[in-house]
Amino acid sequence: MVYYHGGCPVCTREIALYQRQDGADQVCWVDVAHCAPEALGPGLNREAAMARLHMRRPDGTLASGAEAFTLLWRSLPRWAWLGRLLGSRLALALLEPAYRLFLVMRPLWRGRSSKR
């Protein structure tokens, strides 16, 4: 289950790319900006879900940020190689700070996206 911020134009565009991929029909996509609170499941509230990408593993545990992206990529055949390549602890240690920088910059891109 992938939890994404459907009220963010940048996020929506990126998720739409993944939703068009082979295997995307096997992923449950939850737009946290528009879902019922129960759709978030245990351990996740709307504020946290809107702040960063989350993915619920089959065992029910949550991953967020860069780790969630690598899990998402692994679930899509065309992207699986990237998820395996970047899913190591070392790669995640580099990707997570980059993702956090993106989160700081995201409001700037949102403003540009809404002007288009």
Task: For residue range 14-44, list pLDDT tens digits in order.
Answer: 999 999 999 999 999 999 999 999 999 999 9
Place of tokens 């995640």: 92
Range of the domain at 107: 2-115
The CA distances from residue 19 to 7, 12, 93, 111, in Å, are: 16, 10, 27, 24
The tally of domains found in the chain comes to 1
Burial category of 109 from C-beta neighbours within 10 Å (exposed 0-12, middle 13-18, buried 19 and up): middle
Q: What pLDDT was estimated at residue 14?
A: 94
Q: With a cut of 70, list the residues of the chain below it in pLDDT.
A: 109-116
